[in-house]
Amino acid sequence: MTVVKPKRAKERRRLKPGEVVVMAVLSVLVLAVSFPVLYALLNSFRGYADITKDPMGLPTSLDFGNYVTLFKTTEYGEALLNTAIITAGTLAILLALVPMAAYGIERVGGRTGRWIYLLFIAGLMIPFQVRMIPLVTSMNEIGLYSTLTSVMLVHFGGSAAFGVLLYCSFIKGVPREIEEAANMDGAGRLRTFWSIVFPMLLPVTSAFVIIQALGLWNDFFIPLVFLDASSAGTINVALSRMSGLMASQWELIYTGAIVATVPSVLLFAAFQRYFIKGMSIGAVKG
């Protein structure tokens, strides 16, 4: 097998003019695409009358009054906590079940493996609206409606499909000799999986976890349907309720939008190293 000489190993050169141009273009692009969020951020420091009279004006002071109002007059704090619980809980269920299943699918292989694989992948193509009504009815029958658990379970349905896709494509490349050797040594299959195979899946796991975490954090529709007003909802649900209650109070809507976005930026900032590595790995094999 040929070992490709990585281009990063090139000796460090001086900054080329081309690079400067690229950096400038990318900076402009990022600023342009961030416009809505920056706009919301600036306006979150302005009052209603101010925004209405001069929509493009800049804040005159760093006034956190809107943020205080948001947390005082709404259940936003609880919504943040709910969102965190849903995100973490769904990830836990996914990690406990999906890598193992993907591994099983790849190792069963053949016609059976292919069919099970397709059954999972089909889920990627089933819009949530298709299963919404029956799910709401049955969640209620088993007493789980409007619980965070119901949201997590419903999320599992959609996320498992993507997980199986991602893990299967990665596991294809994992040599089976290692686990066969471990099996020969008498290790149980479950132990072999968790102690030998699962650690080898770390790159794809980190990609999966972060993609899912962002997706779960940002989801709107599933919690909208499965959490009624007895719950504070998730951040996006709380925000959508606010749009109803304060139809033209832009300043609070903008503030809520910023508050909802900050945690995902923090999450990304904290884990981005693993994320980018994981994405690259998952991607190359994808």
Partner 1 sequence: MSSANLSRRAVVKAGAAAAVAAPALAACGPSAGGGDGGGKTLIRFLYATGDATWNEVVAAVTEAFNAQSENVVVEPEPLPAAADYATALKTIDATGNWPALVDMRDTLTYMEAGKIAPIPESVTALLSDEVYSPAEDGSVYIVPSTALNGEIGFNIVYDKDYFEANGLAVPTTYAEFIALMDAIKANGDVPLAMAAAEVWPSDQIWKPLAAPTFAQYSESGGFWNTVEAGEATIADLREPMERLKTITDEYALEGWQSTQDAQTSTLLVNGQAIMATSSAGLGRLNDIAKVDPDYNAGLFIIPADDGTLNVLKNSVNGETASGIAISKQAQDDGAQYDAAVEFLEYYYSVEACDLMEATGVVSPNIKAAAEVTRNSSIPGAADYFGLLENPKLAWYENEPNNPNHSTFQTFFRQSRIEMMDDQITVDELIEKSQDEFEKNMAEG
Partner 2 sequence: MTDQQVLVKALPAEPPPAARPAPGRRRARFDRQRTAMLLFIAPAAILYALMMIVPSLQSIQFSLTDWDGISDTFQYVGLRNYEDILTSGRFWNAVRNTLILGLGSAVVVNAIALGVAMMLDKLDHAQGFFRTIVYLPALVSGFIAATIWKYVLNYNFGAVNSTLKALGLDAQTRDWLGDHDIVLWVLLFIICFTLGGNTTLIYLANLQSVPQELVEAARIDGASRAQVFRYVTWPMLAGAVTVNMTLMMIAGWTIFDQIMVLTMGGPGFISETMAFFIYKVGFGEYRAGYGSAAAVVLFIVVMATTMIANRYMRSREIQA
Footprint on this chain of partner 1 (rule: CB under 8 A): 52, 133, 136-137, 139-141, 143, 145-146, 224-225, 228-230, 237, 240-241, 243-248
- In the complex with partner 2, the residue whose CB is nearer, 167 or 231, is 167
Given the structure tokens 């990627």, which residue do they identify? 124
**142 binds, options partner 1, partner 2, none, Cβ within 5 to 8 A by partner type:** none
- In the complex with partner 1, the residue whose CB is nearer, 132 or 187, is 132
- In the complex with partner 1, the residue whose CB is nearer, 3 or 56, is 56
CB of 37 to partner 2, least distance (A): 6
**244 binds, options partner 2, partner 1, none, Cβ within 5 to 8 A by partner type:** partner 1
**156 binds, options partner 2, partner 1, none, Cβ within 5 to 8 A by partner type:** partner 2
CB of 277 to partner 1, least distance (A): 38
**241 binds, options partner 2, partner 1, none, Cβ within 5 to 8 A by partner type:** partner 1
CB of 14 to partner 2, least distance (A): 9
CB of 110 to partner 1, least distance (A): 41
Determine the length of the chain. Answer: 286
**17 binds, options partner 1, partner 2, none, Cβ within 5 to 8 A by partner type:** none
